[in-house]
Amino acid sequence: MERFERLKLTIAYDGRPFSGWQSQPNGNGVQDHLKNAFFKMLAQPVKLHGAGRTDAGVHAFAQVAHVDVPPGKYALHTWTAALNAHLPREIRVLRCGHARDSFHAQYSAVGKVYIYRIWNDPIHHPLEIGKSWHVVQPLDLDALRAARSRLIGTHDFASFAANRGLVEETTRTIYDIRIKRRRELLTLEFAANGFLYRMVRMLIGSMAKVASGRKPLSWLDQLLREPGRQKADFTAPPEGLYLLKVMY
């Protein structure tokens, strides 16, 4: 059996220039750029596995991936420096370490943490464009906290998942939703054992509807009580979403 060395990568990226994390036919997925960087170093293709997909425009503070490479090829600090030299400046390998052969970036994960940033003011600060969702209508913090209390816990979140044509278990446990406001900037941090496709953005869109007075709290209760019968009808845009942490 061919020997290999498994590397665990922690990666940050500005999602704006890319077509999401996953490899794409146009070659512009973050995964594509990382695989190309490895090819330039090894002169052979690699299989690179990420902790999960992020959509086009979504950012990451600490995406995690693993890859198998020939043993002893480079020191860890050399991998980090050389990969970054071959990557677009909007993608950076922050850390590179050894991992057990049994480690898998996706299947070994026990949870994830996402942050969503909302700029809640009539004027969107120009330095926040592409980095936060601009919401003009005032958002009521008490209503947001009430929505938060409804969503924390173990629920069937089928009403908050975009349909990818896949049959999957839709029950997830949200451990916490932290809400912070500093002047115009509102941040919501979601920690859960896992998230469905576009679930965070659909939760954010729904919470914003309640906090702006366009939907009552009872609407959230109905979506949770009758999962999948009715979908949350608004998905917050991708630019406010950041993958903060993958838990192992």
Active site residues: 55
Find the largest Cα–Cα distance for the chain: 62
Secondary element (H or E) of residue 113:
strand 111-120
Where b means 16+ CB within 10 Å and e means fewer, 189-226 reads bbbbebbbbbbbbbbbbbbbbbbbeebeeebbeebbee
Radius of gyration of the chain (CA): 19
Q: Is 121 left (phi over 0), alpha (psi -120 to 50) or beta?
A: beta
Inter-residue contact 132 to 116 (CB < 8 Å): no
